[in-house]
Amino acid sequence: MTIRVCVSVPPKTVDECFELIKKAEAHNADLIEVRLDSLNNYERIADIPACSKTPLIATNKSVEQHGGFSGTETERQKILVTAAKSGFAYVDVHLGVPKQKQLIITLKKAGAKVIVSFHDFEQTPPIAKLNNVLDEELALGADVCKIITTANSVKDNLTTLHFVSEASKKAKLVCFAMGDLGGHSRLVSPVFGAFFTFACLDEKRKTAKGQLTIQEMKLAYETLGLK
């Protein structure tokens, strides 16, 4: 069992991005997700990877995906390709975006691994539905599959954990439930086989509802005797 924590950072500027990456590395983050959709402009994206010793994930969520990027889909995808060419280790592609097959091929040719992601912001679907989503992501050539649901009850955590315990045997999978009731699955999903889980740097920089800080997660793992 290997527990990996990815710290998600939402910089407004590239200079702030450098600072947030440095802080995440000081907390021994295993990966760092850069929320490019938080940036005020995209002129210096290529400068970001050189400042990090930790694998970086480029994510650029549109407003429709509960993100901050309000440009066109063509512009959004162009930024992801730029990130891949600049040295980001991973690029996140949301399942179902236009021309996704060609985008994934382009990103891989540029040298990045592709995370194909699915979010359900309303509920936690049955395991049969989660398996269908996983099959779609694998068929697209995902290097990492990401399936994130929303917990409307504590029991929803059990659904995601049961799913990840089986599905992680055939894929690198990130899976847990968002929301205030989803903290359990965020914390322990790696124990059940998830490739990694997400944390924030601090309370002011949460990028999703229910996120724990990396300090809280590390302390919990230490308390439980997990590494």
Which are the catalytic amino acids?
Answer: 119, 146
Q: Are 57 and 115 in contact (CB under 8 A)?
A: yes
User: At which residue do the structure tokens 């760092």 appear?
Assistant: 32
Identity of the residue numbered 27: H
Here the contacts of 130-135 (C-beta below 8 Å, separation 24 or greater) are: 130/159, 130/160, 130/163, 130/167, 130/175, 131/163, 131/167, 133/95, 134/167, 134/171, 134/173
Q: Tell me which residue of 133, 82, 72 sits closest to 103, measured CA to CA.
A: 82
Chain-centroid distance, C-alpha 140: 18
**Alpha-carbon distances, residue 38 vs 17, 33, 74, 195 (angstroms):** 10, 12, 18, 25
CA 87/CA 113 separation, integer angstroms: 10
Residue 64 burial (C-beta neighbours within 10 Å; 0-12, 13-18, 19+): exposed
